[in-house]
Amino acid sequence: MGNRGMEELIPLINKLQDAFSSIGQSCNLDLPQIAVVGGQSAGKSSVLENFVGRLDFLPRGSGIVTRRPLILQLVNSKAEYAEFLHCKGRKFVDFEEVRLEIEAETDRITGSNKGISPIPINLRVYSPNVLNLTLIDLPGMTKVAVGDQPPDIEHQIRDMLLQFITKESCLILAVTPANTDLANSDALKIAKEVDPQGKGNYVFCFSYFICSH
């Protein structure tokens, strides 16, 4: 498919993702997307913000911050603003408000004590500085439950990640801190589990330095 064909396909993909999310269902169609995976505090937020060209519009903090999948739909546009599926008709021009809304909507479903949920948040960002692209920010992998998290939090997050990254059309962006030995990278381990033959379904990223597989 040529560039023009992809340009026409992406808005349709965005509508399909919104439609599934609005009825509380995951989209089982193999739609092209990039899933960002990594351990807690691995730097996933910084990588995503560099795709958008905006700093600090994603929640940050210690421990598990991303507690629901964030489907981030980037749309090249002359104007710069953001929209949430759950805030129909409202345009966010202040990206600090985008961060606050992500935090509030996360707490609305999961509570404020570190709970998690597979129900996604759909955020669409319009900007002249982005490519038409769909990214998915997934909860950071962890082994120890805190707050209201279930004892099997490690397995729940793993299952949530696999729901997205096992799709053939999904490219996995495995984010690992630059000071971490690749042999100990949980992100790379799960990427290799999905693509054991190294057929090119994943790339890995050290902080801001992206190295393709």
In a domain, 134, yes or no: yes
The pLDDT tens digits of the residues spanning 100-123 come to 999 999 999 988 777 889 999 999
Which CATH number belongs to the domain containing residue 110 in this structure?
3.40.50.300
> Residue 78 belongs to what domain range?
3-10+32-212
Provide the pLDDT for residue 37. 92
In a domain, 15, yes or no: no
In a domain, 22, yes or no: no
Provide the pLDDT for residue 119. 93
In a domain, 197, yes or no: yes
Provide the pLDDT for residue 7. 52
Could you write out the three-class secondary structure of the chain?
Answer: CCHHHHHHHHHHHHHHHHHHHHCCCCCCCCCCEEEEEEECCCCHHHHHHHHHCCCCCCCCCCCCCCCCCEEEEEEECCCCEEEECCCCCCCECCHHHHHHHHHHHHHHHHCCCCCCCCCCEEEEEEECCCCCEEEEECCCECCCCCCCCCCCHHHHHHHHHHHHHCCCCEEEEEEECCCCCHHHCHHHHHHHHHCCCCCCCEEEEECCEEEEC
In a domain, 27, yes or no: no
pLDDT < 50 positions in the chain: 1-6, 208-213
The pLDDT tens digits of the residues spanning 193-212 come to 888 877 667 676 665 444 44
Provide the pLDDT for residue 213. 46
In a domain, 58, yes or no: yes
In a domain, 190, yes or no: yes
**pTM attached to this predicted model:** 0.79
| Count of the separate structural domains present in the chain | 1
Provide the pLDDT for residue 2. 40
Provide the pLDDT for residue 208. 45
In a domain, 42, yes or no: yes
